[in-house]
Every structure is written in structure tokens, then in C-alpha cells.
Amino acid sequence: MTLLAHLIKAPALTGAVAPSSQFLARAMADAAQGAAHIVELGAGTGAVTRVLARQCPDVKLTVVELQPALAAKLARAFPRTPVHARPAAEVLDQLSYEGLPVAIVSSLPFRSMPTLARAETRDSILQFLRRHPGSWLVQFTYQPRAPFDGEHGFAWRRRRTVVANLPPAGVWMLRATA
């Protein structure tokens, strides 16, 4: 099933009309540089996953994709990579990396997600970042503002605008401030 078919079937969970462009995928992977582990949320068709695997070959990658058909394709395409077909919040709450900086690379559609799922995912991301000092979130959005409201002790920074994407997207990073 194509991304467009998934968008029609579950628009709040898909959030994109086309896979991320190679330019957006590279910008996301660039922002993940320096991590000892990468957790990709909302991997979809694997456009960002492929670039992460290519640009960060020595970094352990974990992939999360809620839609089972897309997760199964990702598992076949990346047989040595753990692929979880579960909500991002559930996976993040169970992952732990001792003393290693982790980049969470997310293509989740925060602005269109159902309210409860958005709140649970946001809270799990913030808890994960608190448990793993030095870690950060890389998130893109189609809107000209941060992907979701921050919290005391965290700050968003816009890294790049990628116009060679449908639609153009901003790449943001969220880090703890203290």
C-alpha cells in the first residue's frame, strides 16, 4: 500500500502526501550525527530510514512504525534493525541506553495526531530525554513553528528549512537546556 493510500485510510496517523524527499531525509540524518544510537519514530515507507542507515552505518538504529503493513516492509528492508509496530510512546517508555547519547529522529505528524496520542507521545519523548542526558529529538514539521509546545527545561531550535520537499519542511531539534 502506498503512503497516499495510508493517508486516505488513517490521515491523523499518516500526515504526509508523499514520502520525505532525499533532501529532508539528509537534513534529518545530519541532525542525528554524534548519537551512539538512533530511534526513528514514524518511519513510514523508510525514506529517512534508508538515509540514516547510509549516513550513520556504525550507529545502532531502532525503528518504530505504528502501521503494521509499513512496519512489515521496513522489517524486510532492514533485517538487522529492530522494527516495532507499536505506538511510539510504548516503545520509548521501554527503551533504555546506559550513558549513550540517543537521537530520536521523528517524522510523526504531531500537529494532526489525535490529542491523547499527541500528549502521550510528547510526554514519553520528554521522559526519554530526561532519562538519557545529552540526547535530543530531531523532528520535522510543515508549519513555521515548533512541532509541539515545549516544557520548562527544554528548548527548540530550528536547524534548517528544506524547500526541496513536498510540502517544504522545517527541521527542528529539541534538547534539554540544563
At 40-90, the pLDDT tens digits run 999 999 999 999 999 999 999 999 999 999 999 999 999 999 999 999 999
8 Å CB contact between 56 and 33: yes
The answer on pLDDT for 153 being more than 90 is yes
State residue 8's pLDDT score. 45
Rounded Cα distance between 90 and 64, Å, is 10
**Residue 117: all three cell numbers together:** 496520542
pLDDT score of 3: 44
Cα(44)–Cα(38) distance, integer angstroms:
16
pLDDT band at 99 (very low <50, low <70, confident <90, very high): confident
C-alpha cell at 59: 550507529
**Phi and psi angles of residue 115, each rounded to the nearest 5 degrees, phi first:** -50, -50
pLDDT exceeding 90 applies to what percent of the chain? 85
Separation CA 89–CA 56 (nearest Å): 24
SS3 category, 163: coil
The mean pLDDT of 152-163, rounded to a whole number, is 96
